[in-house]
Structures are given as structure tokens and as C-alpha cells.
Amino acid sequence: MTRSSSFPFELLKCDLSTAARRGQLHLPHGIVQTPAFMPVGTQGTVKGLSIDQVVATGAEILLGNTYHLALRPGSDLIAELGGLHRFMGWDRPILTDSGGFQIFSLGDMNRVTEDGATFKSHLDGSTIHLRPEDSIRIQEELGSDIAMVLDHVIALPNSIEALRDAMDRSIRWAARCKEAAVRTDQAKFAIVQGGLDPELRCQCAAKLIEIGFDGYAIGGLSVGEPPEEMYRILDVAAPALPVDQPRYLMGVGRPIDLVEGIARGVDMFDCVMPTRNGRNALAFTANGPLRMRNQCHARDPNPIEADCPCLACRHSRAYIRHLFQADEMLGPTLLSIHNLTFYQRLMQQARTAIENGTFASFLAEHRLRLSGNIS
């Protein structure tokens, strides 16, 4: 069990030949089996899908976006209506991000100081000032099971001076978030920064552990660096985190990256990739992705994947392609369902492989299968 009795993390099995872990995280709205993938529900919805459809994919936890929900409809309104779970009709766990990545993604529209970040709303251009204390207050009003601390994300590659400055600020902001927190029924996760510098990553992890949180995320990756560089940092950052607490790799979502992350000891993932690609006619499969607009699928009577139980795979590839060619909204919905189901099945297969002591062969197989060309 984790040292945080309020949100127990049970480490059920560790792989002997890799750092892969099988566990379960106990949260107020349910138990999450790990390794776990969290679909992204940016604005209180997994885009294009009903809650029942998301449940049918096998998802046990969703991610909500603090920045977007604070702007519209407002965290105070969501709190007035009973919190984010009731607002969106999802009765399972929710993790909310802090807004740090959105500040980063706004680029020239933001200015970061020690007090917080000042930026322009993407909706109406109004000026917003977000401090660590504000981020926590908003997430407590949303009522998520896990709240992320506000961190300072910067682009990669970058100078060691810039990386250290952002890392140190992230640590100070994390401490302010913890001090500002009021709710005892909401787990707080800190975020390890430090760019592509192993020493900074280890320093950041050590200082955050000293402050003490319910879980730890590895942030600031998948922002333009090659996959090999990300893996190199994971090799250092994941072992620097407590063995008995959950580890979350933020915003990383290629299927092969999930498998490689699990092999390095990561427990939780999130990404818009399965739904965003689904809306753009790309289907993920165990043998690599398929572009469903391609002519080769026009007369194909086979499902996207023969063994997939999802709603999309009740239909032929030819029908899925037709929906996209005809600009029917059902096409993006069905492919989003398929992709999320694929991701959840991948997590289940990884969990089973860890339990059975076969994760090393699972890893080797998926390194081959997921490196195929798009067809």
C-alpha cells in the first residue's frame, strides 16, 4: 500500500525483467487498474462520444481540463451543479490537469512570473492571471478525484539555465498548491520537470518527494523531442519516484510510447491522440494504424480488427471509409470509439502480461508490430 492512506495504491505485481508494474489505485469514485490510459475529456466531454460509449470502451478514469472548464462554463457554475462528475454524468474517477500545459501552448499570449501566469483567453482575448492557488481552487470546485499542481512547462530543447529556472519555479508552485489545498477527498499529484537533463529530473523528483504528494507525474515531455530522448529521461525519472505511489506520464499517447513507458515503470497515461486521430479517419490497430480514407479500404468487407468488440468493428472497413467520404458524423464517432477501445485493450493486455510474467515478450512483440507502416 502507498504511504497515503486516503488514496491507497496497491502494487500487485512487478515484472522481473523490466520495470513494468501492475497495480490498482483507490480513489473516491472507484478503483483504477494500472497501467491505465485516461481518455481526455477537455470540456466535460470526450469529444463526439456519449458517456455510455466511453464506458463501453473500458475506460475507468477520465481527464478534465482545468483551463477550459474554468473559462467555460466556469468552475463555480460546475460546483453549483454538484461538481464535474454530476455535470457530465460520469460516476468514475476524474483527474484534472492544472492548466500548465495550456499556458505553455498559448506561446506568445502568456507571461510567467513567480506569482503565476498571465495570458489571454483564447475565447475572447480577456486577460487572465492564474496562480498556483487559483489552479487548486478551481480543481477543488470541479471536485475531481486527482488534482495536478500548477507547473511551468517550457519548450524542448532549451538551455540548462531555462530548464533549471522552470524546474525550480515548478517546485515552488507545487509547494504553494499543497499549502492552498483544502479538500481532503482529492488526491494531489506533483509534476517532475527538468527537460532532457537527467540530473535536473532527479533533483526535481527528490524535492517534490520531500514536500510530499499522493502521486507523481513526469511532465514536459512529448513537446517535440525524439522518442529516444523521452525514453532516456524515463529511464532516469521513473526510478527516482517512490515505488509505492502512482507514476503518471503526461500527454504521451502513441501506442508504442505507452508500451515503452510501462516497461520503464509508468502507471498512468493520457493523450488526445486516439480521439483526435479517430476524427481524422485514422484507426489504431495491433499491427499499426490504418488511414480509413485510403482507396484500399473501399471494398474491404473486413472489420478494422477481427477480434475487437467495439461498435465500429461490427461494420466493414468499406462502410467506415464510406462514412468519412460522405462526411457523415458517425464516422468520427465510430473511429473514436474504436481507438479508445484499442487503447484500453492494450492496457488490459499489458496488465495480463505483467501478471503472467510475460511482459518482456509482450514488449518485444509490440516493438515489432507497432512499428509498421500506415496503410
Q: Tell which residue, 169, 65, 164, has the closest CA to residue 115.
A: 169
Of the listed 97, 134, 145, 257, which one is catalytic?
97
What SS3 string covers 67-101?
A: HHHHHCCCHHHHHHCCCHHHHHCCCCCEEECCCHH
What SS3 string covers the chain?
A: CCCCCCCCEEEEEECCCCCCEEEEEEECCEEEEECEEECEECCCCCCCCCHHHHHHCCCCCEEECHHHHHHCCCHHHHHHCCCHHHHHCCCCCEEECCCHHHHHHCHHHEEECCCCEEEECCCCCCEEEECHHHHHHHHHHHCCCEEECCCCCCCCCCCHHHHHHHHHHHHHHHHHHHHHCCCCCCEEEEEECCCCCHHHHHHHHHHHHHHCCCEEEECCCCCCCCHHHHHHHHHHHHHHCCCCCCEEECCCCCHHHHHHHHHCCCCEEECCHHHHHHHCCEECCCCCCEECCCHHHCCCCCCCCCCCCCCHHHCCHHHHHHHHHCCCCHHHHHHHHHHHHHHHHHHHHHHHHHHHCCHHHHHHHHHHHCCCCCC
270 annotated active-site:
yes
Of the listed 15, 214, 257, 270, which one is catalytic?
270
Point out the residues that are catalytic: 97, 270
